[in-house]
């Protein structure tokens, strides 16, 4: 069994990005600039945005966080998005999700100029990804594919079972894995909360991508020996062993499942750091106008 070290790969990619940014600035080009809109004080969202800001520093990017309270109106958010769309210094921006219930998330996403949509959530980017055109690919699926690439895991003809059908992870990662590309070229099954006999699908999987948000869901009796497991789950569970009083738990019962696998990602330190670095990569591509003019 080999542990897939997402943190190590992410650190290496951040160094590659930082080197490219210094080359850009030494040519007199501007620093890439990522902005983030953060609404309210959700613990997870605060942490993610803090990690994104730190990653920007490590990559040599400028970053701006625009904060609103939970009672922000949809029109205030739409105005903020319009300003970022029009700001020539901002190369890309994100609106950290989830948003409060009174805000129409889809409307917010569609207000973002797709050329600055470094999260890859806008329908233009989602659609272009699904037909294999250049686009901003959302960060978690891209991070997963990059891990498979860097660990030289052969996905051709493999049976890949994706657990979860979210717009952020399940659907796009299924698209990427079935794409005529490497990594890709897999036979993909998407299972979700309504799937009957999930275990039967899992037992035939060469690659399992678990993105349900259900801690410890994948147990040893569901895994074929030699399978590759990518665990996207990051549920906060109470813990007496950490300062914060919680720890992150993945969708896979790691201790029981890991000995069976050929490769497995830990939580934390697997997919999480790759998600952040993929956002950095998209921001660099936006600053360099490599996807759209």
Q: Which is nearer to ligand GUN, 98 or 226 (CB)?
A: 98
CA dihedral 34, 35, 41, 44 (to 10 degrees): -30
Contact indicator for 210, 190 with CB cutoff of 8 Å: no
User: Roughly what angle, to the nearest 10 degrees, separates helices 170-178 and 139-150?
Assistant: 40
What's the closest the beta carbon of residue 140 comes to ligand GUN, in angstroms?
Answer: 6
What's the closest the beta carbon of residue 119 comes to ligand GUN, in angstroms?
Answer: 5
What's the closest the beta carbon of residue 91 comes to ligand GUN, in angstroms?
Answer: 16
Contact indicator for 135, 129 with CB cutoff of 8 Å: yes
What's the closest the beta carbon of residue 235 comes to ligand GUN, in angstroms?
Answer: 13
In the complex, the residues that contact ligand GUN under the rule CB under 6 A are: 94-97, 119, 139-140, 168
Classify the C-alpha dihedral 255-186-120-24 as positive or negative.
Answer: positive
Distance between CA atoms of 191 and 279, rounded to whole angstroms?
26
Q: Which is nearer to ligand GUN, 9 or 158 (CB)?
A: 9
Q: Which is nearer to ligand GUN, 17 or 168 (CB)?
A: 168
Contact indicator for 9, 146 with CB cutoff of 8 Å: yes
Q: Which is nearer to ligand GUN, 96 or 125 (CB)?
A: 96
Catalytic one among 5, 91, 117, 119? Answer: 119
Distance between CA atoms of 207 and 163, rounded to whole angstroms?
11
What's the closest the beta carbon of residue 204 comes to ligand GUN, in angstroms?
Answer: 29
Contact indicator for 61, 31 with CB cutoff of 8 Å: yes
CA nearest to 273, candidates 52, 27, 34, 99? 52
Does residue 113 have an active-site annotation?
A: no
Contact indicator for 202, 221 with CB cutoff of 8 Å: no
Question: Minimal CB distance to ligand GUN: which residue?
Answer: 97
Does residue 119 have an active-site annotation?
A: yes
Does residue 249 have an active-site annotation?
A: no
Q: H or E element: which one contains 235?
A: strand 235-238
Q: Which is nearer to ligand GUN, 168 or 280 (CB)?
A: 168
Catalytic residues: 52, 96, 119
């Amino acid at each position: 069994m080999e542990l897939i070290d997402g943190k190590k790969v992410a650190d290496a990619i951040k160094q590659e990005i930082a080197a490219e940014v210094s080359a850009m600035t030494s040519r007199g080009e501007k620093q890439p600039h990522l902005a983030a809109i953060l609404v309210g004080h959700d613990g997870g969202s605060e942490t993610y945005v803090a990690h994104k800001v730190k990653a920007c520093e490590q990559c040599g990017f400028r970053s701006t966080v625009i904060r609103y309270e939970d009672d922000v109106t949809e029109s205030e958010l739409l105005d903020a998005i319009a300003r970022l769309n029009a700001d020539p210094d901002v190369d890309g921006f994100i609106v950290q999700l989830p948003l409060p219930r009174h805000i129409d998330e889809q409307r917010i996403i569609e207000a973002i100029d797709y050329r600055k949509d470094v999260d890859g959530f806008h329908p233009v980017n989602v659609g272009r990804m699904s037909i294999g055109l250049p686009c901003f690919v959302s960060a978690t699926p891209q991070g997963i594919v990059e891990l498979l690439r860097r660990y030289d895991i052969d996905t051709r003809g493999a049976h890949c079972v994706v657990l979860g059908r979210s717009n952020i992870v399940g659907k796009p990662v299924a698209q990427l894995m079935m794409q005529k590309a490497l990594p890709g070229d897999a036979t993909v099954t998407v299972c979700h909360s309504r799937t009957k006999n999930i275990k039967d699908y899992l037992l035939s999987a060469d690659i399992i991508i678990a993105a349900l948000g259900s801690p410890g869901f994948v147990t040893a009796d569901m895994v074929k020996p030699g399978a590759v497991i990518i665990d996207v789950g990051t549920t906060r569970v109470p813990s007496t062993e950490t300062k914060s009083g919680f720890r992150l738990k993945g969708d896979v019962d790691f201790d029981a499942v890991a000995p069976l696998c050929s490769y497995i990602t830990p939580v934390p330190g697997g997919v999480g750091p790759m998600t952040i670095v993929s956002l950095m990569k998209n921001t660099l591509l936006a600053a360099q106008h490599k996807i759209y003019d």
